[in-house]
Structure 1
């Protein structure tokens, strides 16, 4: 199983994004052709909607309706394994924040990493590899 960070979904769905083509190729290679499930957490979808609809980030951002439809597509896709925060992953989040002396801007990525780790995921696609390698993830980038 391979996890998906918000950056990956944004790259897949925003055509003007510089990494759009390489993200599509990575999806084909690492998930579809390899028949490896993609682990997705609810907080990734929330952040995707927030980022993909931001007119300050993109010349042609998605509308809320488009972003919600795309989030729903990913959440219900056959290739997706839904991953949820749990009691153990919450404790791991707190442990990692303390162990690695991470600040407030690292809370959400740490929570995502802990949820994925708890689900057995050790590979995670992200355009911010250093945010996740610290926890022991292998991080392919588009």
Structure 2
């Protein structure tokens, strides 16, 4: 099975100071042992770097070099499936924003959901369940 990875989960797995680090690592290890793969989109990596280098969001932020190295390591891991938004994902993004009347704070999560949906990925790992429940098409893990 392939699970889409949300930024919240990626941050928790990579920062040992995160309150959900242990639980997130345990879930990641469980799926890895089952032979599952993890779908990543480039915008999640950008958001990850943005979050983990921000001293207002992290008690112990990473420097930019370390954050980029970690993002590249995850992106190039053998268990990572690299996916990209295409025309179908973009159309779904616009449709969901309108259909569910989502605001500007939901843009990135909706684009992620639309990209995963267009790639036929039905499972998402996130610490923000409500960001994906609205779409009604994903099995949600991690929250």
TM-score (norm 2): 0.96
SS of the equivalent of 2:19 reads coil
**CA apart distance, 1:141:** 1.1
Matched, 1:103 2:117: no
Residue ranges of structure 2 left out of the alignment (5+ in a row) = none
Q: Please, what is the CA RMSD of the aligned residues?
A: 0.8
Counterpart CA distance in 1 for 2:59 and 2:113 is 30
Report what 1:44 is aligned to.
44
- Structure 1 residue runs of 4+, over 2 Å off? none
Counterpart CA distance in 1 for 2:56 and 2:118 is 35
Per-residue displacement from partner, 1:65-113 (whole Å, max 9, x unpaired)? 0100000001000000001000010000000011111111111110000
Report what 2:21 is aligned to.
20
Report what 1:3 is aligned to.
4
TM-score (norm 1): 0.97
Matched, 1:94 2:94: yes
Per-residue displacement from partner, 1:34-86 (whole Å, max 9, x unpaired)? 11110000000000000000111122111100100000001000000001000
